[in-house]
Amino acid sequence: MTSDSVSQAALLDARPQLDQRAGRVTAAMFLTMLSLGLLFSVYSLVQDMDGAGTVMTTWTPFLLLGVALLIALGFEFVNGFHDTANAVATVIYTHSLPPHFAVVWSGCFNFLGVLLSSGAVAFGVITLLPVELILQVGSSAGFAMVFALLIAAILWNLGTWWLGLPASSSHTLIGSIIGVGIANALMHGRDGTSGVEWSQVVKVGYSLLLSPVIGFVFAILMLLLLRTLVKNRTLYKAPEGKTPPPWWIRSLLVLTCTGVSFAHGSNDGQKGMGLIMLILVGTLPTAYALNRAMPVEHTTQFVAVAEVTQQALLKDLPQPVVVEDPRQVLSGYLRSKEAPAELIPAVAALTGVIADEVRDYGALARVPAEAVANVRNDMYLASEAIRLMEKDEIGNFDADTQGKLQAFKKQIDGATRFIPLWVKVAVAIALGLGTMVGWRRIVVTVGEKIGKSHLTYAQGASAESVAMLTIGAADMFGLPVSTTHVLSSGVAGTMAANGSGLQMGTIRNLLMAWVLTLPAAILLSGSLYWLFTRLF
C-alpha cells in the first residue's frame, strides 16, 4: 500500500460519523420543546389579547399574523442550522464532542442566548427600515415589506446552505432591508439612495471586507503562539482514529463552542424578535403597539419628564417658532437625514403632544384602540429624531438639556420598545431547533473542504478562540462582525499556517458567496417587495 493510500485511510478513519441518525431521546426532546413552545406562545398571545380588550371582528388580521409569524420563525430556524454549524464544526472534527451531542449542546446555548438577550439589537434592525413603512406597518405596504425581506433572506440562506457555503445570515437580512428601502424610494419617485441609511451600509461593507481578514490573520497568529508555548506534537497532527484531544485543549474547544453558540443566539436571535414585534404592532396594535405593562404610577413621572424636556428645548431657541405639523417635519428628517430649520421646534412640539396624550389617558393601558397607533407613531418619531440629532451633533445643547433629552428618550423607548417573554421563547426555540437540523452540509465544508488535510486539535482551538474573542469584542463596540466569516476564514488561516494547503475551489466559492450576499439579497427583496405591493 502506498503512503498516499495510508494517509487517505487515516483521514477516513479520523472522519467523524456524521451520518448517524439522531436517537429517540433527541427526537422526543425536539418534539417536546416544539410542542411546549407552541402552547406557551399561543396561550400568551391569547392572554395578551384578552388583557388589551381586543375585539375580533374578522379573521384576516389573525391569518396575516399567523403567516407572518411562521415566516419570521422560519427565518430564525434556517438561521439556526445555517450559521450555528460553524460553532460546532471544530469540536466535531477534533472529536471533542460527539456530533449529535455537540449540536444539541450548541442548540441549548443558542436558546439561552436568545432568552437572556437585551433586545437592543432587535430594535436596531428596525431603524434601518423606511420610516413611512414603520409608521404604517399595519398597511398592505407594511406587510409587503416584512414578507419581502424575510422571504428574500430565507431564500438566499437556503441556497447557500444547499451548496454548503457558510454565508452570513446577518448580512443577508441587512441586504434584504436595504433592498426594500431602495425599492420603496424608487416606487415613490425618489432617489433610491434616500431609502437607505448608508452609514450602516458602510459599516456592513467594512465588516464584509475585514472580518475574513481578521479571522485569517488572527487564527494564524494564535496557532503560531500555541506552537511556541506548547510543544506537544500530537496537537498539530490529525487525530488518530476517534481519539479526543488532551483534556485542557478539549475544554478550550468546548468552552469556545459554547461561547460562540451563546453569542450567536443573543445577537442573531434578536433580529427575528424585532421583526416579530413589527408584525405584532401591525396586526394587533391594541395589545402590542404600547407597553401596557408599564405601571400607572409611572404616568406622572413620564409626563413630568416630557414637559421639562419641551421647556429645555424651547429655552435654547433664539426666537419662538410655530410648527404647523411636527410629525411631517420629523418624518422628512428621518427619511432624508437633512436637518430643516424647524427641526428642534418640531421635536419640542411633538414632545408636548406626547405629554398631553399620556396625561389625558392616565396610563398607556388606557389608551383606546383607535388612538394606539397614533400615540406609538408619535413616540417613535420623537425617539428616532433624538437619536439622529445626537448622532449628527445637531443643536449644541448644554449638558442639562442633553440629559433631559436622553431621559425622555428612555421613557418613550420603554413605552414602545419591549419584547414579551413568549416572543423570546418562540424565537429561542426556532433558533435552537434549527441548530439541531440540517447542520451537516456547513459542518462538512468547514471541517473538510477548506483545507487539504484533516483539522488538527490546535487548528480547531485557534479558529474557534479567534471567533469567540472577535464576537465578544464586536459586541462591546457595536460592530457588525460575521461569526460565519471569522470562523471559516480562521480555519483557512490555520490550514495555511500549518502548511496543509487550501482547496482553492472551496475558497473561491466562499469568497463569491460573501461578495454576492449583499447584492443578491438587495435584488431579491427589492423585487419581492415590488411584486407583493402589486398583489396585496
What pLDDT score was predicted for residue 478?
Answer: 58
**Quick one: DSSP state of residue 451?**
B
**221-235 residue pLDDT tens:** 999 998 888 888 878
Over the Cα atoms of the chain, what is R_g?
25
Res. 155 pLDDT band, cuts 50 70 90 = very high
Asked if 148 contacts 180 with a C-beta cutoff of 8 angstroms, the reply is: yes
Rounded average pLDDT over 66-91: 83
In sequence order, the β-bridge partners of residue 453 are none
Please state, in angstroms and rounded to a whole number, the distance separating the CA atoms of residues 385 and 489. 39
In sequence order, the β-bridge partners of residue 502 are 451
Residue 379 has pLDDT above 90, yes or no: yes
Higher pLDDT among residues 120 and 331, named by residue:
331
SS3 431: helix
Please state, in angstroms and rounded to a whole number, the distance separating the CA atoms of residues 260 and 530. 37
User: What distances in angstroms separate CA 393 from CA 21, 136, 336, one per listed residue?
Assistant: 58, 29, 16
Asked if 412 contacts 383 with a C-beta cutoff of 8 angstroms, the reply is: yes
Residue 7 has pLDDT above 50, yes or no: no
∠160-166-171 over CA atoms, to 5°?
80
What pLDDT score was predicted for residue 531?
Answer: 94
Asked if 78 contacts 434 with a C-beta cutoff of 8 angstroms, the reply is: yes
Phi then psi dihedrals of residue 397, to 5 deg: -75, 150
Quote the percentage of the chain above a pLDDT of 70: 90
What pLDDT score was predicted for residue 221?
Answer: 92
Residue 2 has pLDDT above 60, yes or no: no
What pLDDT score was predicted for residue 293?
Answer: 78
Please state, in angstroms and rounded to a whole number, the distance separating the CA atoms of residues 389 and 253. 45
**431-453 residue pLDDT tens:** 888 877 767 777 887 877 788 88
What's the predicted TM-score (pTM) here? 0.82
What pLDDT score was predicted for residue 463?
Answer: 87
Torsion of CA 104, 110, 111, 112, to 10 degrees: 110
Higher pLDDT among residues 226 and 6, named by residue:
226
The alpha-helical segments, DSSP class H, found in 116-246 are 120-126, 131-135, 140-162, 169-187, 198-229
**104-133 residue pLDDT tens:** 888 888 888 888 887 777 777 777 777 777
Computed from CA positions of residues 31, 32, 33, 35, in that sequence, does the dihedral angle turn out positive or negative? positive
Q: Retrieve residue 26's grid coordinates.
A: 433527541
User: What distances in angstroms separate CA 292 from CA 90, 185, 297, 356, one per listed residue?
Assistant: 45, 34, 13, 18
- Name every residue whose Cβ is closer than 8 Å to that of residue 356 and which is 6 or more positions away in sequence: none
